[in-house]
Chain A
Amino acid sequence: DGGITQSPKYLFRKEGQNVTLSCEQNLNHDAMYWYRQDPGQGLRLIYYSQIVNDFQKGDIAEGYSVSREKKESFPLTVTSAQKNPTAFYLCASSIADRGDNEQFFGPGTRLTVL
């Protein structure tokens, strides 16, 4: 079945540690996105990539980093510089270059900083 997978579903991190969230898609989509969801704030864009080896900052990129070495994969690293990392993280993908294209979302990763 085609879709987006995110792992792990739940992740716990100690303060000061970096942690990487996985996102993989087999939809052959060019564009991939990372969103952060906090209670009462909707989704906010962290990073996006429209092609392999290229990515752009979104609205809240500080404290995060990404890579796009393969079309299928777009991992997100939450660094120790992120002041309030506890949140729900959603990865999405779409066919690039058209605004009406649906973004398909993964099931998300809940990150908790202890």
Chain B
Amino acid sequence: AQTVTQSQPEMSVQEAETVTLSCTYDTSESDYYLFWYKQPPSRQMILVIRQEAYKQQNATENRFSVNFQKAAKSFSLKISDSQLGDAAMYFCAYRTFYNTDKLIFGTGTRLQVFP
């Protein structure tokens, strides 16, 4: 069974600085998808970025980028120029290529942003 591990329960960053959130996963599959979701204090989950495992190029969305290391099964999220609005819980999630029924989530990392 696939598992997702986020080893950093809490992280903090100063406004305008860069922070990296870690995520590792375990799978025997070669094709899959990876996601980072943000859950702000409102608790509504918002997709931040997604990565297809068959793509070698790391995904980027504005200030958010990933470092996808397929062999190491690592999928970290880098937030550049951090803003106060980035403060939230961040969840890494895995989804198989063929079985589209569910996302497998990590336990989350709480990010605090200080002015």
- Residues of A near any B CB (own CB < 8 A): 31, 33, 40-45, 48, 50, 56, 58-59, 88, 90, 92, 96-103, 105-108
Contacts and interface: CB of A to CB of B under 8 A. Distances in A.
Contacts of A59: 102
B104 to A, nearest CB: 8
B96 interface: yes
Across the A-B interface, the 4 shortest Cβ-Cβ residue pairs: A42-B105, A105-B45, A45-B102, A43-B105
Contacts of B99: 99
A102 B47 contact: yes
Interface of B: 4, 9, 32-33, 42-47, 50, 52, 91, 95-103, 105-108
Contacts of B102: 33, 45, 48, 58-59
B100 A96 contact: yes
Contacts of A41: 107
The winner among B33, B52, B102 for most chain A CB atoms within 10 A is B102
Contacts, number: 59
Contacts of A106: 44
Contact of B103 (A43, A88, A107): A43
A103 B46 CA distance: 9
Given A105-B45, A106-B44, A107-B42, A99 B100 contact: yes
A50 B99 CA distance: 12
19 contacts: A40-B9, A42-B91, A42-B105, A42-B108, A43-B105, A45-B101, A50-B100, A50-B101, A58-B102, A59-B102, A90-B45, A92-B45, A97-B100, A99-B32, A99-B100, A102-B50, A103-B103, A105-B45, A107-B42
